[in-house]
Every structure is written in structure tokens, then in C-alpha cells.
């Protein structure tokens, strides 16, 4: 067996920043630290922080008045921000700057009178947060068929935005359909699907042809991880999305398979290592790292934490 280890893989700059923020908050402010939604969509990361005293909530009512609340990497709507103020919470905003960029674009387009077609997945935390910036101006679009069903004049003033973690290919298909129906539509100045999502998809696109099986480390509720699994399957490969080595099943593999291993942007490197070790121990796998692009992106800590860490 040969393991092809894709790079870039795993934690992106936004996830690194969010995780570091929660870690520092726990160390400097002490447990419990409340977190609005999962800090990142990864079971292993969430369970690890629960053991250290983080409490994940889906409603502000579950946070005691005056407590510390951290907003996760996926961002929040203005309503949640205001609710936290009313509850006199000490809020730390660990929203990824690339998600904030999409929020700011939504605010600007709405202010300029556009109807915004937001391409994304219903119910995803990021989509809920972005739609909350201008609920009266945003329509959610999940497929080309949704474009056909839009009930607006053909010359409507329209803009499109996208969730940051979509499949590049699926998003392009929807954007093409929007442009066919509404040629006047305008898009964001720079595309919204983030560098980390694009790079991890590019690695699978480039390397899948060499593999018999593709393993994607990530949780089922991680959008960008799901897209990696789908992309591998679109290339005709047997592909599995797994949280860690405990999910591996020996009958997925033949002794001489080439196994491409990658990880979504919220999956820690430790679970990648566990999987590689498992394949080495059970199939005597050789390891080869394949880097298709270097990543040098870092985001600064939230302002509220910078002050605390300095003092």
C-alpha cells in the first residue's frame, strides 16, 4: 500500500485563529467559557475543548448574564451580537475575517439597493449569520433549479455572494445559471470561496486520479470536508469522510491500494497522523507527501483577546 498525503490539508488560518482564541480565553479568563455554536465543525476539537471547560450553546438564553461568550469561526448575525450586549456578556468575536468579508459585502450590496442571491447551504451557521445582515434583501440559492424559480423581474438589480466553503465547481455552475438568466448580475470584487477551501479541493482534484481510495478527515457537519469527499467521488473514487482512525474499516482497502489522505479545514493533524499510522501498521503502507501549493496565511487574534493577553 502507498499513502499519498495531500498538502495543503487540515487547519486553515481561520480555524487556527478560532482555536487559539478559545484556548487563550480558557487560560487567561478561566472556565467556563461559553461558545456560540461549535467553535469549528469538528467533533474531536469540540470534545477536547469541552474537557477543558468550554460550554457550547445554540441559544443566548443558555449563557448566564455577565459570562464570557466566544463567537465561532462561522460568524453570527447582528441579532445575536445585540442579544449578547443586552445580556451584558463579555463577547469575543473569533469570526474568520474571510466570513466577515462576505458579511460586509452583503451589507454594502443591500445598502445600494441590490437583491442578493446568496449561494450556500440552508441551515449552515455561516449562511444564517450572513443572511442576518440583510434578511429582507437576501435570497438563498442552493442549486441551479433555485435560480430558475426566482420570482424577480428579468432586469432586477441583482448581486450574488457565496458561502466560503462551497464546491468551486458547484458554485460556478450556479453562477453560470444566474448569469444566463440575469446578465446584469454583479458579483463580489474578489471571490468568496476562501483560499483554504479552494486549495484543499485543488489538491484532491489533482491527486485523485493516482488513488484507489480517498480518505477525508473531518466531521459530517463540516461543509468543506463534505465537498472534498464529493469531489473524490465525482472522480470515480471510493471516498470516505471520517472523524478519526477508529472509523476506518479494513475491508475498504486492498493490500496494494494507493490511498489519498486529506483533511478538511477544521480537522486536526493528530487525526491525520493516527490514520497514517493505522495504515502503516495494518497494511505496511509507505508514505509520500504531495504538496500542490504552499499556504502562508495567518489571522490576528480578536481585538478583545489581544488586550487581555497583553495585560
Residues engaged in binding ligand SF4 (CB under 6 A): 12-15, 73, 96, 98-99, 164-165, 194, 196-197, 224, 265
Residue with Cβ nearer ligand SF4 (15 or 208): 15
Residue with Cβ nearer ligand SF4 (13 or 24): 13
Query: Please, is 66 exposed, middle or buried when counting C-beta atoms within 10 Å of its C-beta (0-12, 13-18, 19+)?
Result: exposed
- Name the active-site residue from 38, 126, 133, 230: 126
Residue with Cβ nearer ligand SF4 (115 or 165): 165
Backbone φ and ψ of 215, nearest 5°: -110, 125
Instruction: Give yes or no: 126 in active site.
Output: yes
Query: Please, is 249 exposed, middle or buried when counting C-beta atoms within 10 Å of its C-beta (0-12, 13-18, 19+)?
Result: exposed
Report in angstroms how near the CB of residue 166 gets to ligand SF4 at its nearest. Answer: 11
CA R_g for the chain: 21
Report in angstroms how near the CB of residue 303 gets to ligand SF4 at its nearest. Answer: 18
Residue with Cβ nearer ligand SF4 (158 or 265): 265
Query: What SS3 state is found at 74?
Result: coil
Residue 299 near residue 310, CB atoms below 8 Å: no
Report in angstroms how near the CB of residue 250 gets to ligand SF4 at its nearest. Answer: 32
Report in angstroms how near the CB of residue 200 gets to ligand SF4 at its nearest. Answer: 9
Report in angstroms how near the CB of residue 80 gets to ligand SF4 at its nearest. Answer: 18
Who contacts 290 (Cβ-Cβ below 8 Å, separation ≥6)? Answer: 4, 5, 6, 7, 203, 207
Who contacts 149 (Cβ-Cβ below 8 Å, separation ≥6)? Answer: none
CA dist 305 and 92 (Å) reads 7
Residue with Cβ nearer ligand SF4 (13 or 279): 13
Beta-carbon count within 10 A of 104 CB: 11
Query: Could you list the active site residues?
Result: 126
Amino acid at each position: 500500500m502507498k499513502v499519498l498525503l495531500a498538502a495543503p490539508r487540515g487547519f486553515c488560518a481561520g480555524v487556527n485563529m478560532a482555536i487559539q482564541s478559545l484556548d487563550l480565553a480558557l487560560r487567561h479568563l478561566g472556565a467556563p467559557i461559553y461558545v456560540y455554536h461549535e467553535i469549528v465543525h469538528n467533533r474531536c476539537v469540540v470534545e477536547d475543548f469541552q474537557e477543558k471547560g468550554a460550554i457550547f450553546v445554540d441559544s443566548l438564553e443558555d449563557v448566564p448574564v455577565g459570562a464570557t461568550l466566544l463567537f465561532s469561526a462561522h460568524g453570527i448575525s447582528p441579532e445575536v451580537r445585540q442579544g449578547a450586549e443586552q445580556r451584558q456578556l463579555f463577547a469575543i468575536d473569533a469570526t474568520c475575517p474571510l466570513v466577515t468579508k462576505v458579511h460586509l459585502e452583503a451589507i454594502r450590496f443591500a445598502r445600494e439597493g441590490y437583491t442578493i442571491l446568496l449561494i450556500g447551504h440552508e441551515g449552515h451557521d455561516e449562511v444564517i449569520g450572513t443572511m442576518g445582515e440583510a434578511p429582507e434583501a437576501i435570497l438563498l440559492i442552493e442549486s441551479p433549479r433555485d435560480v430558475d424559480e426566482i420570482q424577480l423581474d428579468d432586469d432586477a438589480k441583482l448581486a450574488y455572494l457565496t458561502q466560503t466553503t462551497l464546491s468551486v465547481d458547484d458554485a460556478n455552475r450556479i453562477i453560470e445559471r444566474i448569469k444566463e438568466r440575469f446578465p446584469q448580475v454583479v458579483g463580489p470584487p474578489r471571490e468568496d470561496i476562501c483560499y483554504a477551501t479552494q486549495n484543499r479541493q485543488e489538491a484532491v482534484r489533482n491527486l485523485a486520479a493516482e488513488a484507489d481510495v480517498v480518505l477525508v478527515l473531518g466531521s459530517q457537519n463540516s461543509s468543506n470536508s463534505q465537498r472534498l469527499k464529493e469531489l473524490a467521488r465525482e472522480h470515480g473514487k471510493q471516498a470516505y469522510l471520517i472523524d478519526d482512525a477508529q472509523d476506518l474499516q479494513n475491508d475498504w482497502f486492498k493490500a496494494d491500494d494507493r490511498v489519498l489522505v486529506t483533511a478538511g479545514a477544521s480537522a486536526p493533524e493528530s487525526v491525520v497522523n493516527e490514520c497514517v499510522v493505522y495504515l502503516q501498521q495494518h497494511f505496511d503502507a509507505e508514505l509520500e507527501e504531495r504538496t500542490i501549493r504552499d499556504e502562508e496565511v495567518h489571522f490576528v487574534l480578536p481585538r478583545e483577546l489581544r488586550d487581555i493577553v497583553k495585560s
